[in-house]
Structure 1
């Protein structure tokens, strides 16, 4: 199922309207190195995620990311980033906070922490030792009557466009792209896809960046070049 969603989302990349694919170079082909999706079957579950309470969205992101990465040998984890995309985001945590405030109850501090999507994106990066950029985007809602599959397709299409830009700019060599949606009514996990992607022709490393190796010709090399 994840491959079909991925292919359809790739065809929709040119119609994304978040501004991610404004550069022509963003339409380079992406090579998919690994993929995973949730649910894999009707009885599929999402295990709890330590550090996140009463949550559905954050464990969903962490689980589909783990399914994508657990059997992979990353060429360079320090040059692998995380790109998380969701149109709805975490729909449950804001309701829990609002209910506690309305009833005069104390709000658990963890709810404020986990309401930021960067929290779980950073958790994924730390869990897998990824040192590349961590980016979160929220594509436009679009058609409110869209089916769950169409919603995820549009979310993934925007994510792939942004991933292409990051790779084209040399920000990373690989990106873990996660598109995840939570049910708006119950807050239960709905659908998620994770893709580990790289550019078909990776951008050259910026040799002027701090820490980059630079070759300085020796005196003998300079003499040889003049001969």
Structure 2
């Protein structure tokens, strides 16, 4: 099984472009940029909107989730402020994973993990299970963390039988 077909790293401190529908935090835009760069390197441009989906799963791994958004919501609740409806949409990491799957017409499962051990290792293990069980032909694994003032995302495509 090949695990390092395409790897993309968003350096710490990188500010990704805004992602429509996602506000307050860099978490979702970082996921989208890392996923887009990884998928573009392997598959070219995203397919047309009516394209039949590839059997590519999306596995999003984060030990802390969207920490900035959670902090923003907690501060708003503490202050008695109204919480905007977009925050309900992006309150779970699978919203951005689903966004990536829809943008790329990916026909595999969408899974979000909060690892108890090393994030990439746990994500790779889960990706291998999806392939071995026949649920996907390849898996886009995206690891994202927001730590202190920095945030970073890494994306890799995992597939079986690749010789590249």
Q: TM-score range by the shorter chain?
A: 0.7 to 0.9
Report if aligned partners of 1:31, 1:200 keep a CA contact under 8 Å in 2. no
Report Cα offsets for 1:113-151 as digits up to 9, x if no partner. 1120000000010111111110111002x6xxxxxxxxx
Larger Rg: 1
Aligned: 1:66 with 2:36: yes
Report Cα offsets for 1:40-87 as digits up to 9, x if no partner. xx774311111001111111111111111123328x842111011011
Show structure 1 runs of 4+ deviating over 6 A.
none
Aligned: 1:192 with 2:153: yes
Give the match's secondary structure for 1:197.
Answer: strand
Report Cα offsets for 1:128-182 as digits up to 9, x if no partner. 1111110111002x6xxxxxxxxxxx21111000001110000000110111111
Distance 2:87 2:155 in 1: 25
Distance 1:119 1:100 in 2: 21
Look up the match of 1:164. 128
Look up the match of 2:93. 117
Name the TM-score, length of structure 2 as normaliser: 0.86
Look up the match of 1:51. 21
Give the match's secondary structure for 1:179.
Answer: strand
When residues 110 and 169 of structure 1 are mapped into structure 2, their CA distance, relative to the original with a 3 A threshold, is same
Q: What is the aligned length?
A: 155
Distance 2:56 2:89 in 1: 24
Look up the match of 2:115. 139
Give the match's secondary structure for 1:72.
Answer: helix
RMSD, matched Cα: 2.0
Name the TM-score, length of structure 1 as normaliser: 0.63
> Higher relative CO (CA 8 A, sep ≥ 6), structure 1 or 2?
2
Distance 2:80 2:15 in 1: 33
* Partner of residue 7 from structure 2, selected from 32, 35, 47: 35
Q: How does 1:187-226 map to 2 (within 5 A)?
A: 188-189=150-151, 191-200=152-161
Give the match's secondary structure for 1:180.
Answer: strand
Distance 2:87 2:37 in 1: 25
Report if aligned partners of 2:6, 2:41 keep a CA contact under 8 Å in 1. no
Unaligned runs of 5+ in 1: 1-28, 143-153, 202-227
